[in-house]
Amino acid sequence: MSSQLAPQPADAPDRLTRSFPASQAGQSVASRYRAVRERSVALAAPVSAEDAMLQSMEETSPTKWHLAHTTWFFERFVLAGSAGYQPVNAQWDYLFNSYYQSVGPMHARHRRGMLSRPSLADVRDYRRQVDERMARAFDAGHFDASLCQRIELGLHHEQQHQELLLTDIKHALWCNPLKPAYRDDLPVATASAGPLDWLGQEEAIVEIGAAAWPLDSDRFAFDNESPRHRVLMPAHALATRPVTNAEYRDFIDAGGYGDAALWLSDGWALVTQAAWQRPLYWDESLESEFTLAGMRPIDPNAPVSHLSYYEADAFARWAGARLPTEVEWENAAAAVAVEGNFVDEGYLHPGAAQRDADSANESGLRQMFGDVWEWTSSAYTAYPGFREMPGSLGEYNGKFMSGQQILRGGSCASSRDHLRASYRNFFHAPDRWQFSGLRLARDA
């Protein structure tokens, strides 16, 4: 892996796609390991050493920390189980642990941006050493089925951090008055959004979720997606595409941010306290927005993004609709291929629905995957019969099942082979630095 940190050339989006194809059934864990780990390095390449230690708010982490923490995961939870294993640097177990209390103490989350040492070069060397140790273990056949399952978990964990790397550096660069670009060569996708139609669904008993963890690598799912279970789903209708920037602009122009009747109580308190008047990265003119390519004109046809749950919910009320439940969303998405605008395409920004002639599937649903995470009205709680993963990895998801909302579908910063209909993302209601938008639903 190169240690150079240079801006990506103009053909980088296509090259990135060619270099890191979607996972295929039967792909070895070793080859998938190399592909995922290399993508992290590629995504971090445009970030300077100075940029890489920025932490713009407590919820975000520096690029350097993302690169180190994902490496620590493989060292701590895969390699360290070998008899006599010597860590690359035992002190880094404290620095790069995130929230695994059963493993040991950790550096405070809100102070990750204070870690000027180890340097970015040291972190990249740490990645190299751990990757070399993993390669030797793969070649020697040291990983049994159980460890391969743990490696697969680590790869999906790293893909989550790849998305966070992009959203976190976007927020950090936006905080700079110069509004510098992460990359100034990102392509622009423009098209018509098409009409917003409704897809009706009769009341039914449906199955959602994934089979109990662990699974084989070709059918990976996190433990919070299981067990698969039956739910009574009321009759409803789901919008065929997400809400666009133009539609959200209508909400702003109609005084949506000033109408207390539209907002949940906590949301209204936040809107008034923080003086929110528009989505996170829009400028005051409502004509331009900050992107990973710097400031750009707002595309009226693209899905609106960087909304909090409160904003998504208020818009839905204003539109005479509501947010879908995660049951409604997953039931519809289960019949849709995982296709869309992902990090693989290289745009790194939401785009309009009709980028090509066959952008709608047979059901008429568009953009169920990619572009923007879609807020649902469902709280992040356990499914009936949920069981955490055994050991320290049981801290991965279960302990966060309080005070957060479910989002579905993935975003333009997600990897295609990381997503599936049962995937449950979760954030706090005020959070809006992610590529989060909404799709409307209504009662039948």
pLDDT tens readout for residues 201-252: 999 999 999 986 555 446 789 999 999 999 999 999 999 999 999 999 999 9
User: Which residue, among 223, 158, 168, has the nearest Cα to 400 in the 3D structure?
Assistant: 223
Asked if CATH classification 3.90.1580.10 holds for the domain at 198-443, the reply, yes or no, is: yes
DSSP strand pairing (436-437 vs 373-379): parallel
Nearest to 68 by CA among 76, 79, 78: 76
Q: Give the per-residue pLDDT at 441.
A: 98
DSSP 307: -
366: helix, strand or coil:
coil
Element housing 133 (H / E): helix 120-139
Can you list the positions of beta strands (E) in 76-126?
none
CATH of span 12-174? 1.20.120
- Tell me the C-alpha distance between 9 and 346, whole Å: 12
The answer to whether the predicted template modeling score (pTM) of the entire model surpasses 0.75 is: yes
So what's the pLDDT on residue 154?
A: 95
Domain spans, the chain: 12-174, 198-443
Measured distance CA(122)–CA(128) in Å, rounded? 10
pLDDT tens string 69-106: 999 999 999 999 888 999 999 999 999 998 887 788 98
Give the pLDDT score at 435.
98
At residue 27, the pLDDT reads 54
> Residue 213: its pLDDT value, please?
58
Kind and range of the H or E run holding 230: strand 229-233
> Angle at the Cα of 27 (from 23 to 29), degrees rounded to 5?
100
Instruction: Give CA–CA dist 372/353, Å, rounded.
Output: 11
Q: What are phi and psi of 36, to 5 degrees?
A: -65, -45
pLDDT in tens, the chain (444 residues): 333 223 333 333 332 322 223 333 335 999 999 999 999 999 999 999 999 999 999 999 999 999 999 999 999 999 998 889 999 999 999 999 988 877 889 899 999 999 999 999 999 999 999 999 999 999 999 999 889 988 999 999 999 999 999 999 999 999 999 999 999 999 998 888 888 999 999 999 999 999 865 554 467 899 999 999 999 999 999 999 999 999 999 999 999 999 999 999 999 999 999 999 999 999 999 999 999 999 999 999 999 999 999 999 999 999 999 999 999 999 999 999 999 999 999 999 999 976 444 455 667 899 999 999 999 999 999 999 988 877 777 777 778 889 999 999 999 999 999 999 999 999 999 999 999 999 999 999
